[in-house]
Each structure stands twice: as structure tokens, then as C-alpha cells.
Structure 1
Amino acid sequence: MNTLDNVLLGPAAPALVLYRQLRTRPVDERRMYTVPLVLAVVALAQGGLIDRGHPALSAALLAGEAVAAVGLGVLRAVTVRLWREDDGTLWRRGTGWTLAAWLVSVAVRAGFAGAGYAAGIRPAAGGVLLFLTAMLLAQSLVVVRRAHGLARFAPVNVGS
């Protein structure tokens, strides 16, 4: 993948995901896992996740990013508003807090990228996609769990 592809793909995937999360959408468990799984395949197919010049350091950085991504995904999941309609349909919508959590996520990822750059690790677009994958999977798992916890027969609003 060339530099132009990285510049376009880097912001495009998170922007699309953020746009979708701030809209009212049904809680569809199967669909919520599709985008992260596709992103994971693309990230792994691109390769270069471990810098051959600094394998131990880049692996440690990748592991740190994964842990941070899971935590940030959980943080965003608790900011999502969930409710059940009278007909039983579950709905979700990101809030202003979701947007704020996304901004924190971007800052954390930029911090990891900066640390890698300072250590001489070659950046890879797959790293951004893998970070996004881990965040989205964690967020989806928590949102689905919260949604299943809503009262079955009473409409309830959860979140802000």
C-alpha cells in the first residue's frame, strides 16, 4: 500500500465508523461485528504490523495499543444511549460523550504512533486498522451485553 492510500484510508475508516455511531441504528448483533472483522482482515493482509528492525519493541507497542483499544472501546460503549421500543426493537445512538470518547481514542492512538516514530518504528496502516478493530469489537460486545440487559417488556433509556 502506498503513502497516498495510507493517508486516505487512515482517516476514512474511523470517520465512517464515527458517522454511523452517532446515528440512530438498531442493535443488530451480527452487523455490529461485521465491520471490525473486515477491518481485521484488511489489517492483517497489509502486513507490516511488526517492524523487522525493532521486532520486540514494535510487538510491545502493538500489545499496548491493543490493551488501550479495548479499554477505549469499553469507555465508548458506556456512552451509547440504548432503548427498547414497545414492539421490542432495540435501538442505539452515540451521544456527545461518545464523540468525546472518540477524540480521546484518536489522541491515544496518535500518542502510540508518536512513541513508535520516536523509537524508529516504521508506521503501518494496518496498525491503525487493528487498533480500530480492537476498539470496535470491545465496544460492540459491551453494547450488545447492555442491550440484552434492558427490561424485556418495558421501554427503558440507558446512558446519557
Structure 2
Amino acid sequence: MALHRRTRALVAASTLALVLAACATEDTPGEGGTTPPLVTSPGTASPSATPEPTTTSESAAPPTADPVVNGTTVLTAPLPGAEVSGPTVTVTGEGTAFEATLDWRVTAADGTEVARDFTMAGANGEIAPFEFTVDLQPGEYTVRVWETSAMDGEEEINPVEARFRVVD
């Protein structure tokens, strides 16, 4: 009886392998009249279709920067190089800090501090979002967010920053 079950399982597995192999090599056009690429194992060559150029009357959107990440602190807006409408600028991200307190500072392009305060995020290793707003005149600025060391109150832990431009 056990031999019969093993034989049936082996036949079923072999049949499934043959069906999958036949599907992977079948030359049936997919959506759009192109042949779908074959699934291959890592390290093997994979056939690829040559993409057809697309034309559009709209210009391509500029590439977006990734969030700024340092340890458990993440700055999601404004991103480096962003151009944001003023005068009220919203800064967002997520992080964790001692007593859930993240400090922040905004400096003008010449290094002059124009705003400084703190915001609340997650605590005790739990990540949570933060958000604050700051009113800024048109110009270039850098926002910096960090956790202040509970040991000495001086060290900046996991600081993140982004330089951005405020426009009317």
C-alpha cells in the first residue's frame, strides 16, 4: 500500500513537472501580441523582449529622491533637492527616540538657524510617524532631524537631513 502511494506521488510530481515545462516553453503570444519571457533559474540567461518606444505628449516626470534614512530615523518630506510651495512647509518622516522626542532644526543656505524645536515619534524602539510645519520665505534651506542622546544631551543620534528650495 505504501509503495502504491509513493508511486502515485512520483507520477503526479513528474506530470506536474512536464506540464510546467511545457507551459514555460510554449510560444503563445501574451497580452499585446508579445511572447512572455521564460522563467529561469538564478544564474541562467533569460530571454528578453526588446521594449517598444512609447511616445507621449507629456514630458517625463523628474526622478524622485528616496527617503533619507539613518538607523531608525527616516525623513520622507521634503526630500533632497525638492522644490516645495511656501510659506508653510510640512516635514514628515518616522522614527523612534528616547521619550519619543526627535529634535529638528532648519537652517538657511548661509547656515543661519531659522527654526528649531522638537516633534514626537515612536519610543522604546517602536517606530512611529512624525510631522511638523515651519513657515519659511522663498529660498534654500536644510532641515535636520535627530534623536538627542539621553546620556549627555549633546550627541545627535541617527541624524537625517535634506536640502530643499521653498518657492511662492
Normalising by structure 2, report the TM-score: 0.23
User: Where is the helix percentage greater, Structure 1 or Structure 2?
Assistant: 1
Which of the pair has more CA radius of gyration?
2
Q: Answer 1 or 2: higher relative contact order, Cα 8 Å, separation at least 6.
A: 1
User: Where is the strand percentage greater, Structure 1 or Structure 2?
Assistant: 2
